[in-house]
Amino acid sequence: MAQRSMTPSVKPSPQALASILEKSGVRANAQQVHQLWIYHRWLRKHNVELNLTRVHNFDNMVRKLYLDSILPGLMVSLPSPLMDLGTGPGMPGIPLKIFNPDLEVVLAESRQHRVRFLEDVCAALGLSGVSIEGRRIGPSYDRPVRGVITRAVESMAETMERIEGCLEKGGLLIFMKGPHCDDELDRAVRRFEGRFALKEDRHYVIPGTPHRRRLVVFVRQSERAALVRQAASASGRHKRMASFDNAAFKRLQKALTPRGIRKEGLCLVSGAKVVRDVLASRPNLVQAWISVAGGPPPPSACGEHVTWLELDKNLFETLDLFGTGHPLLSVQVPPILYWTPENGLGPGCTLFVPFQDPENVGAVLRTAAAFGVTAVVLLKESAHPFHPKAVRASAGAAFRLRLFFGPSVADLPTTLPMIALSQDGCPLHEAIFPETFGLLAGLEGPGLPEPWRRQAVAIPMVPGVESLNAATATAVALYEWRRRAVNPARG
C-alpha cells in the first residue's frame, strides 16, 4: 500500500509559503513571495489539464519543487545566461529567476503545451530577462550560454553531448540529482575527460524533508563547436562529408582493410580512451578528428595540423566499426621496419607474433606493453597491427611498442635463442629464460611447425580441455618471465 505523506496539511497562502521558506533558511522579499505565489497558482490551475507535476500537497510543492529549485542558487554562483534544459513547467528555472532577478535565464522545453504554459506564466509574472526556447535542444543548438542547469531530465552523459554546441568554454554545467548517481557520474567523468572537469559534488537534504539530493557541477574545458568550426574552416582544416562518393571518405574507408592500411599508410582509431591515449602519445601522427555532423569538435590536444572531418550519420557509422559513437582519429601508420634473423635480438624479450586474428594481435600487443617486452616482430602470417580491431584490442599499445615486420614462422632459424609455446613442450616452470630471448607463440589452430615443437614450453593445464587462446598463453608466459626477473630467487 502506498505510504501517505506525514506532512501536516498547511492551508495554502502567500504567508504560509513565506513561512516554510524562512524556516528552511530562505528569506524571501515581498516581491518574491508574490511571484512564487502566482507561479504556484498557475501550476495548480493548469496541472489537471496539462499534467505538469505529480506533487500536489501544498507543503510538498513548496519544499520539493520551489525550495528544491531555489537551493542551487545558494550553493553555487550561477552563471548568466543560464539555460534550464528540460525545464518542464519551469523548474528550476522560474523559482531560480525569481530569487536571482539579475540572472538571464533561458527556459528550454520541447513539449509545446508546456512551452505555451511557460510563455503565459512568465508574462503573468512580469519576468524580464527570461527567454523560452520551445524546441528540443541537441548538439547543433548553438546559442551561447555561460551555464546549463538541469533537473530530472536524462543521464549526465546525454546532457553533456546535447549541450556541445551552446555551453561556452569555462561555463558551468549543473546537475540536480538524487543521491544514487555514482555510476552515471563515473561514466560521465571518464567519457568526457578533457571536455568537462568535475568541480563540485555536493550532498544535501531538502530542509524539512528526508529527501537527499546531490548538486553535481562540471566546468566545460573545451571550446564550443561553432567557434572551433569557424577557426578550422578559416584555415582550411574543416571538411563536411555527406556522400559515400567523396574521394576523401573512400580513402578513410580503405583504412578498414589490411590492404587499404598498407596502401594508404593510414589507420582508424576508435574508443574514447584509446583516442585520448593516441593523442597524448603520438600527436604528430594524427591527421584527422572524425566526428558525426554536429558532434564534438577536436580537443586542444589535436595540434594545428589536424583536420576536423564532420560526417553525415550514415558515413560516420560506416567507419565507426564498433559503434562507439565517439569521434575517431585517422592516424598515419608509424613506420615499421623489417626484421631479419641477421638483426639478432635486443636484450630482454622480443615477442614473435604469427596470429591471424587482428583481435588476438591487439590483445597480445597490449600484454607485451604491460610486461615490458623490448620489441615485437609481426611474422608474415600475422594480421596487420593497425587493423582497427587490433588497434582497439591493443588499447593503443600498437602506437607505443617497437614493432617490426618479420619473415614467415617457417623461415625463422631454429638457432635463435627462442622460447616457443606449444602444448606438447616441457612445463613452463621448468623453462629457463635467457637474458636475451625470443618468445614465439603458436598460430591459432595449427600451432607451431614441427622443429619448434621439439624445444617448446607448455603451460600446464587440466587434462582434456581445449588449448589456451594463443594471446592468453603468451600472457601467461610473459607473466612468468617477469615474475622471475623481479624475484629470481623464486624461479
Ligand X SMILES: C[S@@+](CC[C@H](N)C(=O)[O-])C[C@H]1O[C@@H](n2cnc3c(N)ncnc32)[C@H](O)[C@@H]1O
Nearer to ligand X, 137 or 174 (CB): 137
Residue with C-alpha cell 545566461? Answer: 81
Nearer to ligand X, 64 or 237 (CB): 64
Structural contact between residues 73 and 96, judged by C-beta atoms closer than 8 angstroms: yes
In the complex, the smallest distance separating the C-beta of residue 90 from ligand X, rounded to whole angstroms, is: 8
Q: Is 214 in the site for ligand X (CB under 6 A)?
A: no
Among 72, 73, 88, 95, interactor with ligand X by CB under 6 A = 88
Q: Is 108 in the site for ligand X (CB under 6 A)?
A: yes
Per CB under 6 A, the segment of 83-91, 241-249, 446-454, 455-463 that binds ligand X is 83-91
Nearer to ligand X, 155 or 467 (CB): 155
Among 86, 171, 425, 442, interactor with ligand X by CB under 6 A = 86
Q: Which residues are CB-neighbours of 207 under 8 A, at least 6 positions away?
A: 23, 24, 25, 63, 67
Using DSSP bridges, classify how beta strands 348-353 and 436-440 pair: parallel, antiparallel or unpaired. parallel
Tell me the C-alpha distance between 115 and 121, whole Å: 10
Give the ranges where 67-140 is alpha helix by DSSP (H): 68-70, 72-75, 93-99, 112-125
In the complex, the smallest distance separating the C-beta of residue 50 from ligand X, rounded to whole angstroms, is: 10
Among 13, 110, 314, 340, interactor with ligand X by CB under 6 A = 110
Beta strands in 400-448 (DSSP E): 403-405, 418-427, 436-440
- Determine the Cα angle at 76 with ends 73 and 78, to 5°: 65
Contacts with ligand X by CB under 6 A: the residue count is: 15
Q: Is 151 in the site for ligand X (CB under 6 A)?
A: yes
Three cell numbers, residue 449: 611447425
Q: Is 114 in the site for ligand X (CB under 6 A)?
A: yes
In the complex, the smallest distance separating the C-beta of residue 151 from ligand X, rounded to whole angstroms, is: 4
Per CB under 6 A, the segment of 107-115, 165-173, 234-242, 349-357 that binds ligand X is 107-115
Three cell numbers, residue 253: 574507408
Structural contact between residues 197 and 276, judged by C-beta atoms closer than 8 angstroms: no
Q: Is 153 in the site for ligand X (CB under 6 A)?
A: yes
In the complex, the smallest distance separating the C-beta of residue 327 from ligand X, rounded to whole angstroms, is: 21
DSSP symbols for 127-151: --SEEEE-S---TT----EEEEEEE
In the complex, the smallest distance separating the C-beta of residue 107 from ligand X, rounded to whole angstroms, is: 9
Q: Is 136 in the site for ligand X (CB under 6 A)?
A: yes
Q: Is 56 in the site for ligand X (CB under 6 A)?
A: no
Which residues sit in the known binding site for S-adenosyl-L-methionine? 86, 91, 151
Tell me the C-alpha distance between 84 and 125, whole Å: 18
Q: Which of 146, 149, 16 is nearest to 91 (CA)?
A: 149
Per CB under 6 A, the segment of 84-92, 273-281, 333-341, 427-435 that binds ligand X is 84-92
Which stretches of the chain bind ligand X, using CB under 6 A?
86-88, 91, 108-111, 114, 136-137, 151-153, 162
